Amino acid sequence: MLDIKQVVAKSINEQLPQLDFEQIYENLEYPPSVDMGDVALPCFKLSRLLRKSPAQIAQELAAGISTSEFIEKVEAVSGYLNFFINRPVFMEKVIDRIMAEQEKYGSLDIGKSRNIVIDYSAPNIAKPFHVGHLRSTAIGNSLRKIFEFMGYNCIGINYLGDWGTQFGKLIVAYNLWGSKEAVEDKGIKELMRLYVKFHQEAEKDPGLEDEARSWFARLERGDRQALELWQWFKNISIEEFKKVYDLMDVHFDYYTGESFYNDKIEPIIEELRQKGLLKESEGALIVDLEKYDMPPCLILKKDGSSLYATRDIAAAIHRKKEYNFDKCIYVTGASQSLHFRQWFKVIELMGYEWADDLIHVPFGIVSLSGEKLATRTGKVVLLEDILNEAIKKTLEIIESKNPGLENKEEVARYMGVGAVIFNDLYSNRIKDVSFSWDEILNFDGETGPYVQYTYARACSVIRKAAEAGSSENSFNSRLLQTKEEYLLCKALYEFPEKVEMALEQLEPSIITRYLVDLAQEFNRFYHEHSILVDDMELRKARLSLVKATKITLANGLRLIGLRPLEKV
Ligand code: ARG
C-alpha cells in the first residue's frame, strides 16, 4: 500500500536517525496548495532539539535528501521542508490500488474478531419518532458501517424506551378517553393525543397520577390486563418505527428495549448493596457521586420502581456477558451526557474494568428554522412526515430536471431520504443542525443530492465509454499531466486516511465532508477536460480516473448510510 507520508518520513529519518519515525510521520503536513509541494515537514518544533534555526534545518535536510523513484524534488522554504513527489508514479499507484480493491478501497482489517455494540435510535414507545431520533439513527447507522468496513463485528441494538411510569399514564388515559378503533386507525398519533390529554387532565385532577402509578405497579407485577395493553401499544409503535427504518434502510440485530432488563435489575441491586455502594436518601436508594463532582445516581425510587440509569446499568452488564464487547457505544443527544457519566462511574465503582469501554457519543440539537423540533406539548414534527416530504420534493425536482428518468419513484426515495441523512451527518456531530428544505435539496450545494448527482455523472461517462468500446483498465499515468487530474487523484488517495479518522473520532461528518470535497474535485476535472477524447491512450487514462472516482464515491456514500444511484 502506498503511503506518501511514510516514504517521506523514511527519507527524513535517514538524515536524522536520532528522531523516531513515528514522531516525524505525525508531524508531516499536506501544504495548503500543491504548488508548495505535496508533503511538508515544518521544522519549527525541531529547532530546540537540534539547536539550529528552522530555516537552517530545512536547508540542511534539503541538501542531504537525494531524489528517488518517488521523490522528485525537495525544497527548503522559510522553515518548511517541501517534498514534491513523482506524480505519474503516484497516480498510477493510487488508481491501480482502487481498481484492485474496488468496494474494499479504504477499508482495513483491524477489527477482526472484535465485537462492537452500538446502541442507537432508541425511540420511545407510544411517543413519536422525532428528528432527535433521526440523528441518533443516522449517526449510529453510519458508525456501524464504518466499524464493519474496518473489519469489526457489530451488534446493533435498538434500546426502545418501552418501560416506565408513562405506561401507567397511557393505560389510564386509554381507559378513560380512548377506543380500540381510534388507536388502530391513527396509531402513535392517537397514543400521543391520549398522553397529552392525560397531562392536561392531571393538572385539574391530581388523583389521576396515583391511578397511573398503580397501573404501572400492576405492569411491573406482571398483571395480565396491564401487560396486554402495554404489549399492544408497543406493537403499534414498533410497526410505525419500522416504516421509518425501511425508508432509511436501517436494520437492527435486536430490539431489546428497557423492559427487557426489568427482570435483570434485582441481582444488580443486590450486587450494589454487597459492594457497599448503595445509600438511602429520602426513602430512595442512590449511589453517592459527590466525590466525583456529580449529583447522585438514582437507583430505586421510594416506591421501589427502577429508573432509567438502573436499567442502563443492568443492560450494560448483560451486554458484556452476552457479547463480550470491545466497546459499547451509546448514541444520544448531548443533553444526556450527565446521565451517561453518572452510570459509567457506577459501573467503574462496581469494579468492572471494562467501564472504560463504555462510550457515549453525544450530538447537538436539530432545529427547524430555529425552533426546537421535539417538544412535550404534542407539537412535534414527525420524522415519517419529514421523510415523505423529502421524497415528494425530490420527485418534483426530478420531474423538472430529468422527466424521462426510469424508476423515478425509487430514485426520489433514496435521494430524498439520503438528503435528510446527509444533512444530519454533514456537521461535526456535537454541533446543532438546522433544517431547511432549500438547503438540503440544493443540487449545487454541499448536499446529498450534489454528491449523488456527481456519482451518477461518473457512471454516465463510464457507460458512454463502454458503448464506444473502451472499457479496459490499463492506462498510462504519464498522460495525466494537468493540475485538475492530479488534485482529483490526491483527493482519491486521501479516502483511507479519512475513514480511519472517522473511526477514531467516531465522527461520520469526516466522511460526509470528504465526499463533498471529492465531488468538487471531480467536477472541476470534468468541466476543465474532455474525457472521451479521440486520442485513445489519453481517453483510457482519464477514464481510469473517472472509474476510481466512481468506486470511491460509492464506498463513501455507503459508509454514511446512503445508496449510490447510477442514474438520477
Ligand atoms: N430512549 C431514549 C431517548 O429517547 C434514548 C436511549 C438511549 N440508550 C440508552 N441505553 N440509554 O432519549
Q: Output the tens digit of pLDDT for each of the chain's 568 residues.
A: 789 999 999 999 999 999 999 999 999 999 999 899 999 999 999 998 899 999 999 999 999 999 998 999 999 999 999 999 999 999 999 999 999 999 999 999 999 889 999 999 999 988 878 888 999 999 999 999 999 999 999 999 999 999 988 899 999 999 999 999 999 999 888 998 999 999 999 999 999 999 999 999 899 889 999 999 999 999 999 998 999 999 999 999 999 999 999 889 999 999 999 999 999 999 999 999 999 999 999 999 988 888 999 999 999 999 999 999 999 999 999 999 999 999 999 999 999 999 999 999 999 998 876 444 444 445 566 788 889 999 999 999 999 999 999 999 999 999 999 999 999 999 999 999 888 888 888 888 899 999 999 999 999 999 999 988 766 778 999 999 999 999 999 999 999 999 999 999 999 999 999 999 999 999 999 999 999 999 999 999 999 999 999 999 999 999 999 999 999 9
With a 6 A CB cut-off, is 258 part of the ligand 1 pocket? no
Evaluate whether 140 touches 335 at the Cβ level (below 8 Å).
Answer: no
With a 6 A CB cut-off, is 119 part of the ligand 1 pocket? yes
Q: How far is the CA of 137 from the centre of ligand 1 (A)?
A: 11
With a 6 A CB cut-off, is 316 part of the ligand 1 pocket? no
Would you call 318 a catalytic residue per the annotation?
A: no
With a 6 A CB cut-off, is 161 part of the ligand 1 pocket? yes
Residues 6+ apart with CB under 8 A from 4: 38, 39, 70, 85, 90, 493
> Could you give the strand order of the β-sheet that contains 80-85, starting from the edge strand earlier in sequence?
39-42, 80-85, 71-77
With a 6 A CB cut-off, is 124 part of the ligand 1 pocket? yes
With a 6 A CB cut-off, is 373 part of the ligand 1 pocket? no
Evaluate whether 515 touches 447 at the Cβ level (below 8 Å).
Answer: no
Grid coordinates given for 277: 455502594
User: What does the pLDDT look like over 358-410, one tens digit per residue?
Assistant: 999 999 998 876 444 444 445 566 788 889 999 999 999 999 999 999 999 99
| Residue among 5, 73, 112, 127 flagged as catalytic | 127
> Could you give the strand order of the β-sheet that contains 371-372, starting from the edge strand earlier in sequence?
371-372, 366-368, 433-435
Q: How far is the CA of 180 from the centre of ligand 1 (A)?
A: 29
Separation between Cα atoms, residue 265 and residue 314, nearest integer Å: 6
With a 6 A CB cut-off, is 332 part of the ligand 1 pocket? yes
Helix, strand, or coil here: 175? helix
* Angle, helices 131-149/408-426, rounded to nearest 10 degrees: 90
Helix, strand, or coil here: 499? helix
Residue burial 424-451, b: 16+ Cβ < 10 Å; e: rest: bbbbebeeebbbeeeebbbbeebbbbbb
Helix, strand, or coil here: 553? helix
Closest CA to 522 of 495, 496, 553: 553
Q: Which residue has the cell 434502510?
A: 249
Domains and CATH numbers, the chain: 4-85 (3.30.1360.70), 115-258+324-377 (3.40.50.620), 383-559 (1.10.730.10)
Would you call 527 a catalytic residue per the annotation?
A: no
| Residue among 5, 52, 73, 133 flagged as catalytic | 133
Ligand 1 mutation target, pool 131, 336, 338, 380, most atoms within 8 A of CB: 336
With a 6 A CB cut-off, is 330 part of the ligand 1 pocket? yes
Q: How far is the CA of 429 from the centre of ligand 1 (A)?
A: 17
Would you call 243 a catalytic residue per the annotation?
A: no
Q: How far is the CA of 335 from the centre of ligand 1 (A)?
A: 11
User: What does the pLDDT look like over 484-524, one tens digit per residue?
Assistant: 999 999 999 999 999 999 999 999 999 999 999 999 999 99
Grid coordinates given for 493: 488517495
| Residue among 10, 52, 93, 130 flagged as catalytic | 130
Ligand 1 mutation target, pool 159, 320, 337, 361, most atoms within 8 A of CB: 159
CA 49 to chain centre: 41
Separation between Cα atoms, residue 171 and residue 312, nearest integer Å: 25
With a 6 A CB cut-off, is 448 part of the ligand 1 pocket? no
With a 6 A CB cut-off, is 312 part of the ligand 1 pocket? yes
Evaluate whether 455 touches 564 at the Cβ level (below 8 Å).
Answer: yes
Q: How far is the CA of 161 from the centre of ligand 1 (A)?
A: 7
Q: How far is the CA of 159 from the centre of ligand 1 (A)?
A: 7
Beta pairing partners, 435: 368
Bridge pairing between strands 284-287 and 153-157? unpaired
Identity of the residue numbered 247: L
Nearest CA residue ID for atom 4, ligand 1: 123
For 13: left if phi > 0, alpha if psi spans -120 to 50, otherwise beta; the answer is alpha
* Ligand 1: nearest atom to the Cα of 127: 4
Question: Cβ of 479: how many Cβ atoms within 10 Å?
Answer: 17
